[in-house]
């Protein structure tokens, strides 16, 4: 069964492809051709994104899905050495643990049924 591609993901592919256009060719060549084909094939035809080369990626207001894809690409293809890769993976793990703890607190039975004063 084919997983349905979300609008958010299709739009993220547009942003990722635009960012890749502005990257060094040697970095883009590290990515599997099949992966690039998936981005191109599934990128939204309606959504438009233009990278402002005068701004950092943080300032671009990228979609969360785009940031996630770029992080995945970095961890799997662009890291400089194994230690750097492990540091990134630890950061992601720590962030996920923190996020899960926040959700647990926010949606705990105790907090859900608190009377609002």
C-alpha torsion sign, points 71, 74, 79, 82: positive
Q: Read off the pTM.
A: 0.70
Q: Are 36 and 49 in contact (CB under 8 A)?
A: no
Reported as a single tens digit per residue, the pLDDT across 16-60 is 999 999 999 999 999 999 999 999 999 999 999 999 999 988 898
Q: Is the pLDDT confidence value at 10 over 50?
A: yes
């Amino acid at each position: 069964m084919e997983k349905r591609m979300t609008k958010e993901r299709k739009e993220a592919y547009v942003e990722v492809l635009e960012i890749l256009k502005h990257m060094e060719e040697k970095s883009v060549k590290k990515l599997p051709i099949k992966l690039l084909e998936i981005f191109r094939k599934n990128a939204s035809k309606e959504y438009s994104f233009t990278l402002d080369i005068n701004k950092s990626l943080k300032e671009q207001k990228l979609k969360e899905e785009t940031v996630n894809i770029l992080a995945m690409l970095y961890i799997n293809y662009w890291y400089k050495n194994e230690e750097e890769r492990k540091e990134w993976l630890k950061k992601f793990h720590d962030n996920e643990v923190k996020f899960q703890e926040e959700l647990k607190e926010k949606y705990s039975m105790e907090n859900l049924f608190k009377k609002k004063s």
